[in-house]
Amino acid sequence: MSADGTILTPEIQARAVEIADSMCRSDVECYGVLLGGLDSGRYGLTDEHQLEVAMLEEASDELREAFEYLQSRGLAVLERDNECDVIVLKGEA
């Protein structure tokens, strides 16, 4: 039961995680810069002004938080490519 008295069934909890996975994946796809083909799953980083940046620490809060969530779920990794950080999405959300 949640703090407000709502019962959170396992199904509701699983659906909430699915939604969070999908939304964070969408944030990476929207705020990141696609590198390679559509199926590459590799994204360069941008700041809050949509300007490309090299390091995750310089990226927008939305992009950084989405990556950190996906990384914690095993759905993304950070790689180095030519002195730049690159987000690599894994699997399907």
Q: What is the C-alpha separation between 90 and 93, in angstroms, rounded?
A: 9
Closest CA to 76 of 35, 36, 24, 33: 24
What pLDDT, in 10s, does the model give residues 26-45? 999 999 999 988 888 999 99
Residue 5 forms part of a structural domain: no
Closest CA to 62 of 75, 46, 41: 46
- Domain annotation covers residue 1: no
Q: How confident is the model at residue 58 (pLDDT cuts 50, 70, 90)?
A: very high
Is 78 within a domain?
yes
Domain that holds residue 82: 10-89
Q: Assign 2 a pLDDT band (cuts: 50, 70, 90).
A: low
**Domain-embedded: residue 3:** no
- 4 belongs to a structural domain: no
Q: Average per-residue pLDDT in the chain?
A: 92
3-class SS letters over 65-80: HHHHHHHHCCCEEEEE
Number of domains in the chain: 1
Q: What pLDDT, on a 0 to 100 scale, did the predictor assign at position 39?
A: 84
